[in-house]
Amino acid sequence: MVGTYGEVIAGTSTSGIPWGAFLARELDCPFVYIRDKPKDHGLKNQIEGIDAEKDLEGRKVIVIEDLISTGGSSANAVKAVRDANGEANWCLSIFDYGLDKAVEAFATLNPRCNVRSLLTYDTLLDIAKRIGYLTKEQMEMLQEWRADPFNWGENHGFPKVERGGK
């Protein structure tokens, strides 16, 4: 993948850093990491691994994420690379919930960014169902959550919690 699709591996802060660093080492290519926002002190970098006076100089960057839920922080990481004069057309993750919010977050990017994940929520449920790991009731509950994840807890007696996401 590196070469055709990328020259630099970028891990998202903080959980994408170890996976990105490992991949960069295995592929013998440069590694940077991306914070959710620029530091408010020092060099005020959002991307560590490039000099403050320089940018990514048009290099192709593959963004590595551990988990994609709402897609907000992942899409912002791609934007940060692009703002630093990098070409980010790929975001790879270990797990993706496949939520519509993530699809919408990535749809705001122009040019488009390809998203690929090792495992998705739907695949995980399919495998769990196939091997008989979950009861019928558990499968129904997890499918209900997948249909409306942002209201599921409140619909089942849990207080609603507002928060951001990846």
Across the range 79-106, mean pLDDT stands at 97
SS3 (DSSP) at 75: helix
Residue 126 tokens, joined? 């399919």
CA triple 23-80-72, angle to 5 deg = 85
Higher pLDDT, 150 or 2: 150
Q: Which fold has domain 8-120?
A: Rossmann fold (3.40.50)
Distance CA 145, CA 43 (A): 43
| Domain ranges across the chain | 8-120
Residue 3's pLDDT is what?
A: 66
Q: Model-level pTM? A: 0.90
Q: What is the mean pLDDT of the chain?
A: 92
Specify whether the CB–CB gap between 89 and 60 falls below 8 A. Answer: yes
